Every structure is written in structure tokens, then in C-alpha cells.
Structure 1
């Protein structure tokens, strides 16, 4: 078996809260392989989003080890982590996080420009076409529906052709029909680019579409990880 694209060994996360130190994740040991699709499930407050943030270097482990694409994230500074995310990660949030003063095309092209791609706008246009928004490229986020905004966010995440896609409840703010369409696009983008996909979800139906389901309860992995038939 090849080396995993993501590897956590006894990783913990504790954050300082108003009432003192809050222990969020406890001894997480987990490997994720290239091209795998993984659903992270569990009750609200179980640490799913925090685990996703550890994987993407958006939070630092309090102890243990987190490696992504052969890099020890705890040994990297913020600039190095930002460069790793820019070049190798796509992140899709529930809240879209589009820049309101930029058009859909500009929102998708900006990360590519920052990465030094001369064809940033051409690539951005292709990604918007892939998610069915070619005719909305010149519209601002306020002129788009929630589903359209999430499609722009997907195009932005997919445009750099990332090795790893992280999605945190990507359909949480959408109605059922729109959410189903977004999920179809997310799996399609992952398959077309050969990306590893790790997704936080509360939906059992969505989790079942993944190669593997991982459950967290009270910041700990349970023994119910499965590979659907």
C-alpha cells in the first residue's frame, strides 16, 4: 500500500475557553489514502469540524502528529502552511466564504492568481462551466442564490486541482434538492481530479456514498468505521 496522503498519530486538540482549557480531540490515529472518499459523522460538538481543521493545518495539534502529503504540519510555520493549502488543498465551508466585492469569476480566479498561474481566469471560467455557472460568471455573490454561491465555492476549491478536498457540512445551508445537486458536483469534482475527499456531514445517506465512514463521539474515534458495500 502507498503512503497515506493524510496521517494522524495520537493527535489531540485543546483550546483555551472562557472556563479554562477545553479538550476537543483525544488521541486521534487515522490514515487516509490517495483518492479515498471519507465521511466524518457524529453528534454535534463531537469534534468533526475540529478534526477537519487539523487535517488542513487550520488548527495545530496540541500533541501527537499530523502529516499531510509527507509534511509534518506541526513543524511548519504559518506561511508554509498557507502555501501547502494553496497548492494542495481545496476547502469548502458551509458558509461559502465568497468575497462579496468580487464576481463569481474573480472569486474563483483569485487563489489561482495568488499561486502564480498565468491562465487563472481561463481556468476559473472552465471550473464555473463545470459546475453549471458559465452564464453567471459576472455576477456578484449577492446576485446569486445559496446553491449558486456554494457552486462558486466548489469551483474555487477545485480550480487548483487539489490533492485533498475538505468539506465541512457543504450542504448545511441549502434545501434538500439543491444540496443533493451540490453533493453530486462535489463527488464528481473529486473523481475528475483524483482528489482525496474528506467531508463532515450529519446525513447518513451522504455518508453512505463515501468509501469509508468515520464516527467521532466526544472527540474520540469510535470502532464503527466502515467501508460501504
Structure 2
């Protein structure tokens, strides 16, 4: 019997804007199994990135409940959520979010140091090696290409060995060649560390590499189906 690692029950999200309240997600209920790869797709404005942020505790639900690894994210305060993410989640954004004043090695080592891991720099070096950047550890983000910066971001997200890996349009700022290489690395890191991968993407080709694809439209789940890769 598959084990659920993340589940949402009747989750809605509304935010206040200049024109008043904006309803972004409506009564979302779904679960993700341990070790599963899930692609979230839909047109711009469908709510897929907002859904990913809720799953990572980076946004607070207006109603409903979110359970991750047996813990209720919706009942946690900001400090508890930060600790939970540090210990259990890795997040990869479209915009890399590297610290510009730190080298690639320091960027990857930082979350490990915050978690109190003694061999933080050794593990960070190994993760950079795994994404093909072992020779670029002493370079700053401004000295790296977009593809290289995203590789550093991948290494940083995977270094703490997270149970859940969240990726928001990880290839959105890259050309086709670099985007394909990043996806190969992302799935490779998933396989190496056994993480559950949840990815937002506009590319159906990328989504089909996942075990299951969930389609959103107007803040609601429109479809959910296993892909051909799930049967392989």
C-alpha cells in the first residue's frame, strides 16, 4: 500500500490585493505518495506555483489542512515551518536565489551549516561534483552562467537529503539544452537520494517524465492521471 508523504484536504488560498480579495485556489484535495514524482501543469494564473508554495509551507492556506510527513503544516508558526523545511524539504526556484556574496561552495554549504552538519563543506563539495561543478566551487554566482547557477541551486536543495524536493519552473530561465540537462540532473538527484519530487512546469514533455501529472485551471484541479513513465 503506497504511503502518503503529503496530503491536502479542502485547501483554499485567498490574498488581499489592491482591488480587494483575490481567490487563488479553491478546495484543493490531493495526496502525494512517498517516492512519487508529480508534475503540476496548467496555464499561467491557474494557481500551480501557489499550490507548490502551500505544499512547502512558504504560503499559508486560508482554509483547509496540509499534512506533510505526519505533521500539520497549517498549525505551525513561521519558526516551526522554517525548521520543518530545513530538516525535510529542498526547494528549487526558477530564479536560482543564490546568495551573490557567497561562492558556489558556500551557497551549497549554508543550509547544511544551519542544520548543524559537521562535514557541511565536504558534503557541499560532493554535491557540486554530482552536478558537474566540482571545479567551480570557488566561483561567485555572477561568474557562472544561468545553467551553472541552476546546478548550484539543485546541489543546495539536495545536499541536506530532503524527503521532499519542490521545484518551481526549474528550467524556466534556461535554453532548451541547459533545461534538458537540469531536468536530467533533477531526476538523477531524486533517484540518488530517494526524495519525493513535486515540480511545476509549463512543459508537458517534462511533466510526462513524472509518475503523475495534475492539471490545474482557475485554481481548481482539472485532471490527475498517471503517465506512461509510471508503468515502466
Q: TM-score range by the shorter chain?
A: over 0.9
CA distance in 1, matches of 2:51, 2:70: 18
Q: State the secondary structure of the residue aligned to 1:91.
A: strand
Question: Unmatched 5+ residue regions in structure 1?
Answer: none
TM-score by length of 2: 0.97
- Supply the distance in 2 between the matched residues of 1:130 and 1:36 (Cα, whole angstroms): 22
Specify the alignment match of 1:71 in structure 2: 71
- In structure 2, C-alpha distance between the alignment counterparts of 1:226 and 1:73, rounded to whole Å: 26
Please state whether the residue corresponding to 2:197 is helix, strand or coil: strand
- Find the counterpart in structure 2 of residue 201 from structure 1: 201
Give the Cα–Cα distance (whole angstroms) in 2 for the partners of residues 20 and 114 of structure 1. 39
Scaled by the length of structure 1, what TM-score is found?
0.99
Q: Any idea what SS the aligned residue of 1:225 has? A: strand
Q: Map 1:11-90; keep pairs closer than 5 Å.
A: 11-90=11-90
Cα deviations across residues 16-59 of structure 1 (Å, max 9, x unaligned)? 10001100000000000000000000000000000000000001
Q: Once the two structures are superposed, what CA deviation does each residue of 1:123-167 show, in whole Å capped at 9, x if it has no partner?
A: 000000000000000000000000000000000000000000000
Alignment-derived partner of residue 227 in structure 2: 228
Structure 2: unaligned runs, 5 residues or longer: none
Please report how far the alpha carbon of residue 226 of structure 1 lies from its aligned counterpart in structure 2 after TM superposition: 1.1
SS of structure 2 residue aligned to 1:209: coil
Whole-angstrom distance in 2 between the partners of 1:3 and 1:9: 16
| CA–CA separation in structure 2 for the residues paired with 1:167 and 1:73 | 19
1:54-91 superposed Cα distances (whole Å, 9 cap, x missing partner): 00000111001111111101111111100000010000
Q: Secondary structure at the match of 2:225?
A: coil
State the partner residue of 1:106. Answer: 106
Aligned to 2:214: 214
SS at match of 1:44: coil
Alignment of 1:119-138 (within 5 A): 119-138=119-138
Stretches (4+) displaced over 3 A: none
Question: Mean alpha-carbon deviation: is it higher for 175-184 or for 2-11?
Answer: 2-11
1:165 aligns with 2:168: no
Separation in structure 1 between the aligned mates of residue 102 and residue 29 of structure 2, nearest angstrom = 40
Offset of residue 3 of structure 1: 3.7
Q: Take 1:75 and 1:57, find their aligned partners in 2: how far apart are those partners?
A: 10
Deviation at 1:2, TM superposition (A): 4.4
Residues paired across the two proteins, number: 228
